[in-house]
A = this chain, B = another copy of it.
Amino acid sequence: MLDKADLKTGIDKSDYHARMGVLEKRLESLQLKVKELGIPVIITFDGWSSAGKGTLISKALEPLDPRNFSVHSMEKVTEDQFMRPFLWRYAVKTPPGGRFAIFDKSWNTAAVIGDGAIRGHVEKDMDGICRDILAFEKQLADSGVLILKFFLHISRDEQLKRFKELEKNEDTRWRVTEKDWAQNKDYNKYYNHFDNMLKKTGAGSVKWTVIPSDDKKSAAIRFFEVLVERLTETVSMREKEKNNLATKNTENTQRKAFDDVPDILSGVSLEKDLSEAQYDSLLKQYQKHISNLGFKLYRKRRSVVIVYEGWDAAGKGGNIKRLTEELDPRGYDVRPVAAPSKEELSHHYLWRFWRDMPKDGHIAIFDRSWYGRVMVERVEGLCSEDEWRRAFNEINEMEMHLRRHGVIICKFWMHIDKDEQLRRFQARMEDPMKQYKIGGEDWRNREKWDAYLLAVNEMLAKTSTHCAPWTVVEANSKKFARIKVLERVIKTLEKEL
């Protein structure tokens, strides 16, 4: 790709100012549309050292309202970032609707050039990482994020000239590092790396724009042209969609017939139980065991994600309690997941879960999770059919990325039958200590049992992957369910540690 970039272009000064003036005005008014339509925009900058990223970022921001953008410096990887799957550092910084997020280094460079920024417990697997990147970009693009990836290209001579210029001045000398000099010295090696990266990561839904940057003025013009063009395109597309949506909105209320979904849950026997004595002895033994595994986890710097989903009153709370009781409290966190806040709704639906992903050595327990997308959001019509259908794959992709970093994933569906649920609801109503646990929503959800059943069956079938399988927990007996979860977590950890 780089060989096609013409580094010899130049531009006349007065021509530059005239064209730049027009482009800046356009960008200034486009940002209002972006805000109004709630479009999240990501702009990333990669390229050679001293290719002029800083200058270009500053130029791009000039027409923008400083309250509408965030600039994220990704050059230095913090400890917090290093201890999580490498897309995490980007995922948590994706912008809400109407805002620009600007990255001075993209996930592409970070991953594919490789600079010690990625640590995998699983053996480093470049093709896999590229797949993760393409999936990440596609997910964002599908959800309506506009992503613009720029690569600033300069020649070896120009780079050398710029380094020497910087070194002349005492105030700028510190900006040329040894790593920079190495890049100039081994220019050809890096050229191949970059070219390879551009090819590998430009094949997906987001293309690269290579900006020939030997001449700073024409680089700026080119950058602005692409930016304005893409924003104009997207704005006009979204305006059309908005209008179509307004007329189409009523069409889709009738749900289409569902796919042929295997009825996994009907085969589950809920008779299983344990005697008090069995339970007590196993509980003690397993809790002791899991506590030791927790320490081992910490020492080996492996992280764990445990997902609890299940019917209302299936006993998630008590189950989590038994799982964590003997764990070192500094090693785990329980995240109760409620309806998303306004801020969370203005982001990609996975954003709020990314924020809670555990760092190496820690356990995160999700009491309800991202699977809400394909259950409550689907059944209640809180997202479109397209969105929840897409989600099965998106979730698998995210979990695959966690897995690639070495995260251990356990997912539990706490299963009870309808009669048992009724018994528990009634018991809650009668117990003053438990009354707070039951509200109108629980009864309303119960009425939609069959719709949920269908959704859960489809979820289990489509998201039970090799790297993150579901375990259906027979939970009519709370004792049995607690022991089964403990057993499964222990087994999984033992296999992995």
Contacts and interface: CB of A to CB of B under 8 A. Distances in A.
Interface of A: 29, 32, 35-36, 54, 57-58, 61-62, 65-67, 70-71, 73, 78-80, 102, 104, 171, 174, 292, 295, 299, 317, 320-321, 324-326, 328-330, 333-334, 336, 341-343, 365, 367, 433, 436
A107 B240 CA distance: 55
Nearest to A75: B330
B171 A295 contact: yes
A67 B67 CA distance: 35
B320 A66 contact: yes
Nearest to A333: B70
Contacts of A67: 317, 320, 334, 336, 367
Number of identical protomers? 2
Nearest to A70: B333
A66 B324 contact: yes
Contact of A36 (B295, B321, B436): B436
A279 to B, nearest CB: 17
B71 A329 contact: yes
Nearest to A73: B330
Given A29-B433, A295-B171, A341-B341, A365 B66 contact: yes
A65 B342 CA distance: 27
9 contacts: A32-B436, A36-B436, A54-B329, A66-B317, A66-B324, A66-B334, A71-B329, A73-B330, A78-B79
Contacts of A295: 171
A341 to B, nearest CB: 6
Given A32-B436, A66-B320, A365-B66, A171 B292 contact: yes
Nearest to A434: B32
A439 to B, nearest CB: 14
A65 B29 contact: no
A36 B436 CA distance: 9
Contacts of A58: 325-326, 328-329
A71 B341 contact: no
A-B pairs with the 5 shortest C-beta distances?
A73-B330, A71-B329, A67-B336, A66-B334, A57-B329
Given A29-B433, A78-B79, A62 B325 contact: yes
A21 to B, nearest CB: 16
Given A66-B321, A67-B334, A329 B102 contact: yes
A104 B330 CA distance: 8
Nearest to A67: B336
A71 B362 CA distance: 12
A339 to B, nearest CB: 11
Q: Which of A70, A326, A330, A342 counts the most chain B CB atoms within 10 A?
A: A330
A487 to B, nearest CB: 19
Contacts of A78: 79-80
Contacts of A367: 67
A35 B65 CA distance: 42
A35 to B, nearest CB: 8
Contacts of A342: 341
Nearest to A342: B341
